[in-house]
Amino acid sequence: MRITSDEIRRLGETQSVEFKKSLSLQKEAFEALCSMINTNNAKGKVLFGVAPDNSICGIEPGNLDMAQKSLVQNIRNKFDPPIICSVEILECDDKSLILLQAERNPEVTYHEYDGKAYIREGSSNRQLSYEEKQQLLTRRNRDKHNGPWKCENCGSVVGILISMVITDQGVKKSYDCECGGQFWPI
Ligand SMILES: [Zn+2]
């Protein structure tokens, strides 16, 4: 896939985008990815081969296949619970970039990378404190939450969820809104 330097400049580093100049910054890149998917927005992109000032340096020449494999291995081994992450090679001018893209499943409270949970504020990353993890557990574990609830799609608010669904784990509260959206704790 191709990407232009204009598109990269427009993207910029944000709450859901991180640039890493070099593949030697894998650890920092994955900490950033972990912190981005742990936000409410639940999405993250890391682009290797771009400096934080948006200049395109390209990744180190060498075996792109090997680099891709090592990234995939890191993703498989170090995230808990496991994440689904795409690893793509992009061409910009005559340079190669690697793009990682991941999302958090809303059922997952937070992901840890290498045993630590991170959260993003603006474009910087920090570790979650014990209290913050507890807060996320209450906010995001819907089965344990007493509401009130708000539909993420149409915005309707309810105090109590009354409909139930039968799942393979027995009868559970239903979080489905009639508009097709899902209710989440406010
Ligand atoms: Zn709704």
Residue 161 CB neighbour total at 10 angstroms: 18
Whole-number Å distance between alpha carbons of 162 and 67: 51
pLDDT at position 180:
94
Question: Looking at the structure, do residues 127 and 147 belong to the same domain, yes or no?
Answer: no
Residue type, position 135, single letter? Q
Question: Looking at the structure, do residues 20 and 109 belong to the same domain, yes or no?
Answer: yes
pLDDT at position 4:
93
pLDDT at position 146:
83
pLDDT at position 122:
87
Answer whether 82's CB lies under 8 Å from 130's CB: no
Using the mean position of ligand 1's atoms as its centre, give its distance from the Cα of residue 135 in Å.
24
Question: Looking at the structure, do residues 154 and 121 belong to the same domain, yes or no?
Answer: no
Q: CATH number of the domain that 125 lies in? A: 3.30.950.30
pTM, rounded to two decimals: 0.81
| Residues with a beta carbon under 5 angstroms from ion ligand 1 | 151, 153-154, 177, 179, 181
Q: Which range of residues forms the domain containing residue 38?
A: 5-132
Average pLDDT over residues 61-81: 92
pLDDT at position 30:
98
Using the mean position of ligand 1's atoms as its centre, give its distance from the Cα of residue 181 in Å.
5
Using the mean position of ligand 1's atoms as its centre, give its distance from the Cα of residue 156 in Å.
6
3-state secondary structure 40-70: CCCEEEEEECECCCCCECCCCCCCHHHHHHH
Residue type, position 153, single letter? N
Using the mean position of ligand 1's atoms as its centre, give its distance from the Cα of residue 149 in Å.
11
- Structurally, the chain folds into a number of domains equal to 2
Using the mean position of ligand 1's atoms as its centre, give its distance from the Cα of residue 141 in Å.
19
Whole-number Å distance between alpha carbons of 145 and 139: 7
Residues 125-163 pLDDT 10s? 999 999 999 888 877 888 878 889 999 899 999 998 888
Question: Looking at the structure, do residues 158 and 90 belong to the same domain, yes or no?
Answer: no
Question: Looking at the structure, do residues 43 and 128 belong to the same domain, yes or no?
Answer: yes
